[in-house]
Chains A and B, each alone.
Chain A
Amino acid sequence: MKADIAVVGSGLTALVATRTLQKAGRNPVLIWPGLSSLYFLYATVDVLGYTNATTTQPVDEPVRGVRQLIADNPDHPYARAGLAALQDGSSLLLEWLREAGFSWQGTLARNLLLPTATGTPKPSCLVPTSMIAGDLQRDEPIAFCGFDGYQDFIPELAASNLARTWNGGPRSVTSVRVSLPGINSENLFTSIDLARRFEDPTFRRDVATRLRDAVKFDGARLGMPAVLGLTHDTDVHTEFEKETGHPVFEIPTVPPSVLGLRLFDRLRRHLQETGVEMIWAAPAHNAEVANGRCQRIHLKSAGRDQPVEARAYVLALEDAVDGAWRAGAHAVRDPFFHQLLAQHATPAERTDESLFQPQPFAAIGYPVSERLQPLDTDGRPLAANVFVAGGGIAGYDPTSIKARGGMAIATGYRAAQEAMAA
């Protein structure tokens, strides 16, 4: 097939790049390699949570933090993308979310501090409205709420941890647990099952009543697993707050993450409804280069090889999960040019001894030009009309500074801009 600009990826990076092209009046085709696991994990847009991997002091103002990070690290992917790409990309995303029927809040000027499912404060920047009431910079007491038989959110664990790090003054933390009407806790049910049930007003009201009775003090905020609706979540959240008589905030759970499903399903559908062509579940595996330009990329679609010819290409794979690169025991190569990105004597070299430290493998990727073109070993662009965003860029490690969403937006937006200029 032929296209104007082809975007490859299944995460936020690819979505932002595609939307950027669409809004600029271009005609992108989105090549979606399959469900990346981030699809199930994504919950918020974190722009910069911490300035380094070892501090516990959260960044207050992400935009200032990123500006400083760029000044200190001119090779950082944020620096390559530029601050403007983060700012413009974020505005584009927030506007898009509104248009697609989401209710999101937040600005680059300020981080929220939201409790995780382990009761750990975590800085996030742009978040669904249903999470806002969890901000730990506010003082109201918190009651974490769980359900009998539901194992993917343990209110007692969250409460015990948060009580230690956050308690004091008017702040207090407690946990409650209620049974769920019509759900046999002896049977398997997942977060998605619950999210569907919460769309039923009778079920929702019944749970609200049970929680109202269980939470003993007024003025508390209720911290709930993120299961408040799958498709009508904004309404479910609003109604549930009224019915419980408390501010309610959602907390991301272990996969399957309802927050991630809502986000990607609806944005993907919105793109399709507004005319963007999508090629589903087709991993790209080869780029053909001639005269310094990529002529076509090849997809592995059902039973055949499908070439896609475009004027420019945005390789917006989120990370190794999404297929940004492939690792054998020693060599790490990219799927398009089969460029050797890294070579390791032992696979263990790719990791730190501890899971909780920055991982060397996170830095694997293409070296990129000022314009985010992937470079060969001599520092020349592999193809003049190919641009990289996301985990394909060398040094792309959002985990250690909690910047996954922001780095996705900035690089996705910038790569799309470059692709339009190519």
Chain B
Amino acid sequence: MVLSPFLLMPDTSTGVVVIGGGSTGAGVLRDLALRGIDAILVEKGDLASGTTGRSHGLLHSGGRYCVNDLAAAIECVEEGRILRRIARTTVEDTGGYFVSVSEEDEAWEPRFVEGCKKAGITCERIPVDEARRREPALSTQVRTVFWVPEDGHLDPFYLVVGNVESARRRGAQVRTYTEVIGFTRNGSRISGVLTRDAMTGDETSIGCQAVINATGAWSGFVAKLLDVEVKVVPVKGVMVVLSHRLAHAAINRCHKPGDGDIVVPGLSVAILGTTAVKVPHPEVLPIEWNEVQLLIDEGAKMLDGVTTARAMRAYAGVRPLYDLGAEAEGREMSRNFAVIDHEERDGIAGFTSIVGGKVTTFRLMAERVTDLVARRLGVSTPCTTAEVPLNDREDEMDQLRHRPAQLGVPKPHGAELALQPLICECELVRPQDVAAWMKDPAVRTLEDLRRRTRSGMGPCQAAICSYRLAGRLVTDRAADGQTATRAMADFLETRWRGVRHVFWGSQLRQAQVTAALHLELFNADRQLLMEKSAAGTAFLPPPRAGEGRGGGAVTEAAGVRP
């Protein structure tokens, strides 16, 4: 939909509207904020609810791309080093191994070593015995091991939230559950966007001087609102979460990247990745049993214990591969990215798309697109996202530091902390970790809270914390019982969708406890029947007036600050 600018004055105005709340959009918002450009980020769901939050969380050393996609590999090397500086609490420096497990892999080894050299990736071949000493779970099939110290784990949720918080502190705004449904134009120039709130259905216009389309796999849909084409190929990847890490470091197969060839340890879990299947739509992501089975079988070639470990859930994400017009498909396509200048390409001034890429290089993607947009807006302030730390107020983002104390580990000075109350025993989430987010208008569902706190991500998959969180919705956010109960049920249902694909062994028994607790002890199925409310998303009420965490209120002053 394209509206004439003369029909209505925008409800609010800003300098740049960023569409998309994944790592790219969040990175763009922060880049704009650091350059002093007013911006509003709009996201049709929650932050990190699309591709970013469904990644396996590998901070790429570049080793996986160094043979077939040298340009992408070189970017990974540089960006990985930057992220270790600016996002210390978001990156876990696990290091990684590339292992060969069979004869046919051996031809890949010299190419891998050569690729690492070309890309500048630190890579050291180590004896298998030494590798097994460091990683006792390495399978007996492993024949060759390369140590690549710059593989790591990147927490995708904290990464996005950290970027957004950093931007908010500098005046940027965020509107989640806000979908762009149209644009306003002034001749050939974009003058604003029209948005719809997913909860209320309210339509709002935002006047602006430029729009950045950072919607990844959804880029084509946004561009289509302006009748221009952006060809993004959505490629599904399925992952399986195991209940413990199995290895200290990321374990990759040393071969041509393929299905099921990586195990990423992250916090308390290990994630088996991944598959690659082209899908017709980025939101059609069925989890097929053969994919789950393949991940477990392939993972077991690298690590002992994969088949016997407790699988907690399976999930699917979508890669936003940009179609450069080549014949390549799926994994063969470049993981590189492109900035599409629609003014030059399509004659639409003020509209730019950033497509392709991956989470590891989000900052660079943001820098490139922001360079272009800032230049067009006449802002010459250079990009500083590689120097200014993300957690420049660490108290807000450093959610992990309390954990040793929580487990009863004495503080360095010898004083022992008493155990603190917990909302989620599995992931050691405390009430105060949740309280701040309860006041954030961007948090509209318990899933949103999970992304920000990890509550519900452990073995019990929200069986217990869902009740406690439902209670906090009533006490902290004045939700009525119906909304809170529906939110609890939605949260459990979302978890259930992942659990049912690994429904055997311990996780089956766990699920039976969940069912007994919620359906028998609480009688939740009848509560839902009594409400006659269709399954779906119950949005939470906004926080009480004056309690916002920032970013919720709309400021009048807008435009580019001098």
* Count, chain A residues at interface, CB 8 A: 67
Question: B481 and A160: CB pair below 8 A?
Answer: yes
Q: A179: which B residues are within 8 A, CB to CB?
A: none
Question: B503 and A187: CB pair below 8 A?
Answer: no
Write out, one digit per residue, whether chain B residues 520-537 have a CB within 8 A of any chain A CB (1) or not (0): 111111111110000100
Given contacts A320-B508, A327-B508, contact A159 B481 (CB under 8 A): yes
Given contacts A157-B481, A159-B481, A186-B420, contact A41 B503 (CB under 8 A): no
Question: A161 and B517: CB pair below 8 A?
Answer: no
Q: B524: which A residues are within 8 A, CB to CB?
A: 118, 120, 356
Write out, one digit per residue, whether chain B residues 460-478 have a CB within 8 A of any chain A CB (1) or not (0): 0000100110111011000
Given contacts A154-B474, A159-B481, A348-B503, contact A187 B421 (CB under 8 A): yes
Question: A354 and B484: CB pair below 8 A?
Answer: no
Chain B at the A interface: mostly helix, strand, loop or mixed? helix
Question: A355 and B518: CB pair below 8 A?
Answer: yes
Question: A120 and B527: CB pair below 8 A?
Answer: yes
Question: B421 and A119: CB pair below 8 A?
Answer: no
Question: A186 and B421: CB pair below 8 A?
Answer: yes
Q: Does A291 contact B (CB under 8 A)?
A: no
Question: A122 and B526: CB pair below 8 A?
Answer: yes
Q: B422: which A residues are within 8 A, CB to CB?
A: 188
Q: Complex Cα distance A149/B422, Å?
A: 10
Q: Complex Cα distance A43/B521, Å?
A: 8
Q: A320: which B residues are within 8 A, CB to CB?
A: 508-509, 512
Q: B526: which A residues are within 8 A, CB to CB?
A: 50, 56, 120-122
Q: Does A102 contact B (CB under 8 A)?
A: no
Q: Min CB distance, B287 to chain A, in Å? A: 8
Residue of A nearest to B527 (CB): A120
Q: Which of B474, B504, B519, B526 has the most CB of A within 10 A?
A: B526
Q: Complex Cα distance A122/B500, Å?
A: 27
Given contacts A252-B521, A254-B464, A350-B503, contact A355 B512 (CB under 8 A): no
Q: Complex Cα distance A254/B488, Å?
A: 14
**Would you list which residues of chain A between 181 and 213 have a CB under 8 Å from chain B?**
184-189
Q: Min CB distance, A349 to chain B, in Å? A: 9
Write out, one digit per residue, whether chain B residues 471-507 have a CB within 8 A of any chain A CB (1) or not (0): 1101100001110110011001100110011111100
Question: B504 and A404: CB pair below 8 A?
Answer: no
Q: Min CB distance, A34 to chain B, in Å? A: 12
Q: Complex Cα distance A54/B532, Å?
A: 11
Q: B488: which A residues are within 8 A, CB to CB?
A: 118
Question: A361 and B503: CB pair below 8 A?
Answer: yes
Q: Does A91 contact B (CB under 8 A)?
A: no
Question: B517 and A328: CB pair below 8 A?
Answer: no
Q: Min CB distance, B404 to chain A, in Å? A: 15
Q: Complex Cα distance A154/B493, Å?
A: 21
Q: Complex Cα distance A254/B460, Å?
A: 13
Q: Min CB distance, B289 to chain A, in Å? A: 4
Q: Does B340 contact A (CB under 8 A)?
A: no
Given contacts A328-B505, A348-B500, contact A117 B522 (CB under 8 A): yes
Q: Min CB distance, A174 to chain B, in Å? A: 13
Q: Which of B508, B517, B523, B535 contacts A254 (CB 8 A)?
A: B517
Q: Complex Cα distance A159/B484, Å?
A: 12
Question: A122 and B523: CB pair below 8 A?
Answer: yes
Q: Complex Cα distance A186/B417, Å?
A: 11
Residue of A nearest to B478 (CB): A156
Write out, one digit per residue, whether chain A residues 28-67 have a CB within 8 A of any chain B CB (1) or not (0): 0000000001100101001001100111100000000000
Residue of A nearest to B468 (CB): A151
For this complex, into which size category does the number of interface residues on chain B fall? 35 or more
Given contacts A154-B474, A157-B474, A361-B508, contact A188 B419 (CB under 8 A): yes
Question: A38 and B515: CB pair below 8 A?
Answer: no
Residue of B nearest to A190 (CB): B421
Q: Complex Cα distance A165/B529, Å?
A: 12
Question: A255 and B485: CB pair below 8 A?
Answer: no
Q: Which of A257, A350, A399 contacts B519 (CB 8 A)?
A: A399
Q: A327: which B residues are within 8 A, CB to CB?
A: 503-505, 508
Question: B485 and A161: CB pair below 8 A?
Answer: yes
Question: B493 and A348: CB pair below 8 A?
Answer: no
Q: Min CB distance, B300 to chain A, in Å? A: 13
Q: A160: which B residues are within 8 A, CB to CB?
A: 474, 480-482, 484
Q: Min CB distance, B533 to chain A, in Å? A: 11
Give the total number of A-B pairs whose CB atoms are below 8 A apart.
185
Question: A154 and B470: CB pair below 8 A?
Answer: yes
Q: Complex Cα distance A19/B464, Å?
A: 33
Residue of B nearest to A149 (CB): B421
Q: Does B436 contact A (CB under 8 A)?
A: no
Question: A347 and B503: CB pair below 8 A?
Answer: yes
Given contacts A118-B522, A361-B508, contact A355 B514 (CB under 8 A): yes
Residue of B nearest to A119 (CB): B481
Q: Complex Cα distance A329/B306, Å?
A: 14
Residue of B nearest to A403 (CB): B520
Q: Does B548 contact A (CB under 8 A)?
A: no
Q: Does B516 contact A (CB under 8 A)?
A: yes
Q: Does A164 contact B (CB under 8 A)?
A: yes
Q: Complex Cα distance A398/B516, Å?
A: 9
Q: Does A402 contact B (CB under 8 A)?
A: yes
Q: Does A152 contact B (CB under 8 A)?
A: yes
Q: Does B293 contact A (CB under 8 A)?
A: yes
Q: Does B513 contact A (CB under 8 A)?
A: yes
Question: B517 and A255: CB pair below 8 A?
Answer: yes
Q: Complex Cα distance A106/B516, Å?
A: 22
Q: Which of A43, A184, A361 has the most CB of B within 10 A?
A: A361
Q: Min CB distance, B59 to chain A, in Å? A: 31
Write out, one digit per residue, whether chain A residues 342-367 have a CB within 8 A of any chain B CB (1) or not (0): 00011110110111110101000000
Q: A151: which B residues are within 8 A, CB to CB?
A: 421, 423, 431, 468, 471
Q: A329: which B residues are within 8 A, CB to CB?
A: 293, 504
Q: Complex Cα distance A252/B517, Å?
A: 10
Question: A120 and B523: CB pair below 8 A?
Answer: yes
Residue of B nearest to A115 (CB): B523
Write out, one digit per residue, whether chain A residues 1-39 have a CB within 8 A of any chain B CB (1) or not (0): 000000000000000000000000000000000000110
Q: Which of A157, A187, A348, A353 contacts B484 (CB 8 A)?
A: A157
Q: A154: which B residues are within 8 A, CB to CB?
A: 467-468, 470-472, 474-475
Q: Complex Cα distance A154/B473, Å?
A: 10
Q: Does B225 contact A (CB under 8 A)?
A: no
Question: A399 and B527: CB pair below 8 A?
Answer: no
Q: Min CB distance, B44 to chain A, in Å? A: 24
Q: Complex Cα distance A414/B511, Å?
A: 29
Question: B471 and A157: CB pair below 8 A?
Answer: yes
Q: Does B400 contact A (CB under 8 A)?
A: no
Q: Complex Cα distance A399/B464, Å?
A: 18
Residue of A nearest to B492 (CB): A355
Q: Which of A187, A347, A348, A402 contacts B419 (CB 8 A)?
A: A187
Q: Does A244 contact B (CB under 8 A)?
A: no
Q: Which of A162, A359, A404 contacts B520 (CB 8 A)?
A: A404
Q: Does A319 contact B (CB under 8 A)?
A: yes
Q: Min CB distance, A322 to chain B, in Å? A: 9
**Would you list which residues of chain B between 314 and 365 have a CB under 8 Å from chain A?**
none
5 contacts between A and B (CB under 8 A): A41-B517, A49-B523, A122-B523, A154-B467, A398-B520
- Residues on B lying within 8 angstroms of A by beta carbon are 289, 293, 418-423, 431, 464, 467-468, 470-472, 474-475, 480-482, 484-485, 488-489, 492-493, 496-497, 500-505, 508-509, 511-530, 535
Question: Can you name 13 extra interface pairs (CB under 8 A) apart from A157-B470, A188-B418?
Answer: A37-B516, A151-B421, A160-B482, A161-B527, A187-B420, A187-B421, A252-B521, A320-B509, A321-B513, A321-B516, A328-B505, A353-B500, A399-B520
